[in-house]
Amino acid sequence: MKNFEIFRKKYKKMIKKMYLGSSLCKKMIFKSFSRFNVVSTLLFIVLAITCGYVYLYNEGVNVSDVNVAQISNLYAKDSEGVCDLYDGKWVLDESGTYPLYNASQCPFAENSFNCLANGRGDKGYLKWRWKPNNCDVLRFDVGVMLEKLRGKRVVFVGDSLSRTQWESMICMLMNGVDDKKSVYEINGNKISKKIRYLGVRFSTHNFTVEFYRSVFLVKIGSVPKHSPKRVKSTIKLDELDGIRSKWIDSDILVFNTGHWWNRAKLFEIGCYFKVGGRLKLGMSTIDAYTTALNTWASWVESMIDTDRTRVFFRTFEGSHWSGPHGHTCKVTKMPTFGSKSEYRSQFSDIIKKVVNNMAVPVTAMHVTPMGSFRSDAHVGTWSDNPTVPDCSHWCLPGVPDAWNEILFSYL
C-alpha cells in the first residue's frame, strides 16, 4: 500500500502538470488564432496532446503505459483513506458479469469443485463481487490479460487451495480464447490431487500457467536413527522443497501454504519437525511455520530475480468448519456480514510479518478477511464425493476468482 500511495501521488502530480501545460498551450493557440474558430479548435486539440506527450517524455514516463484504466484505478479512492484491496465487503452484482466462466465448459476445473454440476441448486453464491471500502478492484478484462501474459510463465506453488486458484485463472483466461483446443496440459495429464506438476499452455499467446504441489514449501525429510517409534516422517524446516529450482525462471510466482499445518496432518500421523538434522519433538506448529517461512524468504531473496519476477504470497484462506470437534460443515445460502476481526489467522499474521521484513519486493495477498465472510461459497456436499463434506475448499466459479481479479489488478 505504501508503494501504491507513492505512485498515486506521482501520477496526481503528473496529471496536474499535464493540465497546466495543456492550459498554457490553449492560451497560446487562442491568442494566435482567435479569428479562425474551427482551425484554432483543431490546433488546440493537437497541441494539447503534443504538450502532454512531450511532458511525459521528458519525465521518463512510458506514454503507452498511461491509460484511462490505470489513472482511474489510481484515483479510485474516497476521502476516508488510501485504498486497501483487502478491507471491504462482498456486494451483490446483478450486472451479468458474474460468474466469470462456466466450470462445466472449462476442462481444467476439477469435478470436485464444480458445485453446480454436482447438484447445488441455489446460484446466489455466484453473484457476489468483492468491493474494497475505499476503491475498486479493476474489472477483469480477459483480452487485456491474455496480451499482458503473452510470452510469460505464471507459476503457482502450494497446496490444494493453490491448485484451485490455478484452475480458476485458467478458466477465466480461456473465456477469451476462440480455439479452446489451443489450450492444453503440457504433458497431456489430467488434473489430479496427487500429481506434483501441472502446466497448461496457451499456445496462441505463448504463455503457460503452472502448478507445483508443495503443501509445506519445505522438504520432507527422513527419520533420524534412534528416533521414538511415534516418528514416522519429518519435515526439514531449514530446507526448501526439492523441486524449488523449477520455480525460478518465472514471471509471476504465487505461493501459499497453511492447511496442512495442523495436528491431524502432522503429529497424529507421526510427522514431526527437524532443523539442522535434529528432531524438534516439542516444537509447536506455529513456531515450525515461522521457521519454514523464514527459510522460504531467504531462498527468494537469494535465488529470485525480482526485477523480472513478481512474487506474491497469498495468506491463509478461511474455512468454516464448526461443531465441538470441528467436523461439521454447514454451508449457508448468503455471505455473513460480520466484522473482519471475527476471523484472524496466526498463519496470516506470520506471512505478513515475514514478507514485510524481506529485503526484496514481495506482495502479501491478505485474502483472509475476504474468505471469512463467505460461508456460502464452500464445496460442502456438492463435490464428486458427497459423503465427505468440504468446508475448506471453494466452489468454482467462486471466491478464488476474486483472488485472481486482485492478482490481475497488480499486474
What is the Cα–Cα distance from 13 to 361, expressed in whole angstroms? Answer: 25
pLDDT of 338: 64
Per residue in 254-309, pLDDT tens? Answer: 999 999 999 999 999 999 999 999 999 999 999 999 999 999 999 999 999 999 99
| The residue to which cell 489513472 is assigned | 71
pLDDT band per the 50, 70, 90 thresholds, residue 318: confident
Sequential DSSP letters for 6-71: HHHHHHHHHHHHHHHHHHHHHHHHHHHSTT-HHHHHHHHHHHHHHHHHHHHHHTT--GGG--HHHH
pLDDT of 20: 37
Q: Which of 40, 378, 393, 401 is catalytic?
A: 393
Per residue in 327-346, pLDDT tens? Answer: 899 999 999 876 554 567 89
pLDDT band per the 50, 70, 90 thresholds, residue 95: very high
Is 168 marked active-site?
no
The enclosing H or E element of 167 equals: helix 160-174
What pTM did the predictor assign? 0.80
Reported in sequence order, the residue ranges of 269-403 that DSSP labels E, i.e. its strands, are: 271-275, 278-280, 310-314, 321-322, 328-329, 363-365, 378-380, 390-394
pLDDT of 31: 38
Does the pLDDT at position 69 exceed 70?
Answer: no
User: Do 87 and 27 meet the contact criterion of CB atoms below 8 Å apart?
Assistant: no
Per residue in 191-250, pLDDT tens? Answer: 888 899 999 999 999 999 999 999 999 999 999 999 999 999 999 999 999 999 999 999
pLDDT band per the 50, 70, 90 thresholds, residue 378: very high
The two beta strands, 278-280 and 271-275, are antiparallel
Is 327 marked active-site?
no
Q: Which of 159, 241, 376, 390 is catalytic?
A: 390
Task: Count CA within 13 A, CB hemisphere, residue 117.
Answer: 17
For the ranges 58-67, 181-190, 252-261, 332-341, the lowest mean pLDDT is seen at 58-67
| The residue to which cell 468446508 is assigned | 391
Q: Is the dihedral of CA 30, 33, 35, 40 positive or negative?
A: negative
pLDDT band per the 50, 70, 90 thresholds, residue 324: confident
pLDDT of 167: 98
Q: Which of 136, 160, 227, 349 is catalytic?
A: 160
Helix (H) and strand (E) counts in the chain:
9, 17
Per residue in 28-48, pLDDT tens? Answer: 333 333 343 444 444 444 444
Is 378 marked active-site?
no
